[in-house]
Amino acid sequence: MKKDIVIPEVTNVEIAVVFEYNDIYKTDDWNVYIINKKSVDLELVVIVSQGFSPEISGLKTTSLFRKKIDILPANSFAKIELIQPELFQLNNRFQVSFFEGNTLFEKTFLFKENTIKEGALRMIPQLKKRGILAN
């Protein structure tokens, strides 16, 4: 029965961490964005994020954060959350689920520990900002 289940591959959806200036608070912040590079809307997008780090004494984790977006229009993006620099020493996982038409898609994006840093920033054309894309 398991062999009969088809899990479609997610393409043209990205998670990015962006370093940007906050005009309201006059600070430089790190923000997480979801990018829809598809030519169709994504519906009922659910993002579950958590930081974690396996340690000798046990697993260190953060609380789960959940975000729902009813519709993410084609060729657009949305800010998900502010991420604190203290979390960069952890692995940061973003589990994304969404409907495209009547099909459910799911993908896990991962920023490995210590990979989010200013020296790794690259221009992300869709956002017109400098950031880092998840694996």
- pLDDT (tens, 9 = 90+) of the chain, 135 residues, equals 667 777 789 999 999 999 999 999 999 999 999 999 999 999 999 999 999 986 655 678 999 999 999 999 999 999 999 999 999 999 999 999 999 999 999 999 999 999 999 999 999 999 999 999 998
Q: What is the pLDDT of residue 56?
A: 55
Question: For residue 56, what are its two tokens?
Answer: 């000798």
Q: What is the pLDDT of residue 135?
A: 86
* pTM for this predicted structure: 0.91
Q: What is the pLDDT of residue 1?
A: 62
Topology (CATH) of 13-50+57-133: Immunoglobulin-like (2.60.40)
Sort 52 into a burial class: Cβ within 10 Å, 0-12 / 13-18 / 19+.
middle
Q: What is the pLDDT of residue 6?
A: 75
